[in-house]
Structure 1
């Protein structure tokens, strides 16, 4: 039976205050008594924080509130009718008539005053939307709201201050025994109700004080939200008034704030880790989880989850966890690096505190060169690469190291079968300066000695590695921070009776972060890195030493502007490369080897970038960016000239041109557009489309399937054009059962120009005419990726599948 509140409700007597009080005393617990009534025509809402708020209530609403109180204690476990999806046939129907139809076909009751909604109709474009979203759109900007008493009872009310909506959310938090905090910014006096203000802040781990990257911040009463950036910062534009703010992060306890905001305000939120026991941990793709906030092909990885994942010989390995993501492969279990969407290992940009890493593995790929104890957070881009990154055509792996605690000293570590690690951190000056130091080393030789083999000298072989990091952070103020970090990694492998291989990476950087205002911030990073290897043989008659090294100082300046409708980032970056392609020398006076010195190669890679995130219209979000990259091949250099019209071979060499130090040998100028579109079908589903053009100016030269530490890098120049990749991605993302289950399916198509390959029988090491041994061609790759994840409950996990082809 359909009950028209406009007529039937008016026949009810106006309930007295005694009626309300008896109802609350009889049916509601002390914790739930959030509604009280006083005077003859006033409804007083008194939150549990002791602050009262008065709203003038007409008699009809008094009657309606009484009905609401009658139903507030009921509980239902069925799915709410508000989650019902519309098929489009409802468009143009009067809202009150449509609600009446729903009552006939679904076990639900709607209570409202007919005059309030008689002029409202279901709008075009409602197909695929839920009833909850349709009502939100219709009531947006009006003083009408609705209360979901239970999944079968919906009450429409005039609630200009949205006090009832807020109360419903707060009451649910109270029932869940969540701590609710009260915050007030500004005063209500002389405030324009249509005014919007900025609510910003930073979210950190309460123990380590590390920023939490990708934490969600949602104003639940108006469904406005966002996520924190790499510095743990967030910013929301909110209408003045009262709101309920929910802060969430994986494996951390939720924070709930009852916010009254009438002026710009900033907060520092510390979240506590939730103690959980998990049998298995899955790296969860946040591009599937954050339907409304993340770009396509982007994954945020929690190191807490990585540490709980199964590990080879007890050694936690970040790179191995990257390899389990859909679209990421490797050529073998012991191979170095990874391949993304048909690309090569050299086409992945790995950054550690902003500096490139040329070798990410220990022991020829068995273990990652990154100590998990020292890593704060990781972001992996395989589709929508932001404009601030460039130089690799397949993916970006951005790794940020931990900062030390500003309050107390602490240590963590572990002892494994082949290695041990230790992390120590604490304050140098409390609340001002902190330090974090980590170290890891191996004692794997004993394992080699236990292996039975026909090779009699195996027990005389050795494998060793170590790595160490250090980070010092100083807070000049709440707005200015200076960070200095360092990283070193070393490997050595010797097979008895054969050569000894060793390689190492060294990096150091300084970063200054400053917040000029609440909406404008910037950072400056300067660093220096080096990578090199050495192969040696101590044979008395044929002994030799082969050395190879890359030095690369780098600097980056970037700024961020956060406005109500635009989030703009822009900046510049430059890296200078100094290549020593090889020095070959005899290891002793008796050795018959000859000295060979390859000509050094110098290059400068620079880029300017700008990006903007904005809403084209309500459901269409745009993430657009543009990068202008410049690459200069510099002297001193000798450039060989070959006979025109023929192949590049030693016999066709006709001349050599000499370039002096600092002279420009060859320059490349390229535009790199980036575009991401997201259309929200509903609060739990979206379609995303992305396009990237990326240029890569460094090429890995190798003639083996698996990359080894003794391969060489070749910069672009007169003979080698930069690689250029165009990639288009399209994905559908869907969450089920309040994000208990998350799914996505994503397809891509990628074309890469100027891919480097070698000729049959080519000699690559110490070849002064390397251009005669290499060719450039075109590659194509396409495929589809699918993943379904269960993220809540005692058992969590995911199933993923990827189909890909490379041509």
Structure 2
């Protein structure tokens, strides 16, 4: 009885190995597709560990095997595929192939060139599956170490179109890449200015300040001073710590002409130069000519300062006043005759 069972098992094994199949494999066939071809034609089942990804492509050559026994097919595939097949009973086991001398990695080398066949220096060579990469040297050469398998190589460089290629590594491999110029045409941009330009005015080196601008500037003890505001303009410096005078472009303080509504002013300060004589409540604005002074002012070596005063209100009577840390002030204005004439009276007194 024992001999009969052994004979039956031997005959069963022969019948399993004698099963013939017709199979086509190439670089586009995944392990899963290959398993289906075999399992649909035979009783064999495939087994593999988690290290094998059945959705990947492990075949390196295109071959069609017609009416071939399974064991012969396995022997042929073991010569050209990136995995190792082995038959145990009715099962086919799949594992990663170990190369001669226990070689685990292969060298991927090559050169990156542009359209003119010049080497691309500093191009990024990136392997998507392993998240590793390299940078090309001065000759456009790169070098990477990879295990056997299928990989996606991505090449990128500023100004050149990105390149991507699917490769299969089973031995030391050299692959060159040619990159094309990547040009992007920008939309036209029109830059305009909203500031009105008075092309009729040829006057140069003139600075204008309104009283509203002067009051926005930092002041000493809260008292706005038209003369002190000039120090914020380019080319204007203080004549001294205890003086309200000013120097323009290196000139002396007495080389400046100061006008109040066209009338010359010879003493421009109070309290030893701590205050200027101009009451900020009645000043409407000022103009400082630092060069090219018009002939109507008579000329000065350094500059001409033209201070303009306000006019009284033609419609309503108004009273303004204020008490500061070092001075007090009062302003009264109104119409003499409505819409015809007006008056304005202002005074300022210091506590010194």
Q: TM-score normalized by structure 2?
A: 0.44
Structure with greater contact order relative to length (CA < 8 Å, sep ≥ 6): 2
Q: Which of the pair is proportionally richer in strand?
A: 1
Kindly name which structure, 1 or 2, has the bigger radius of gyration based on alpha carbons: 2
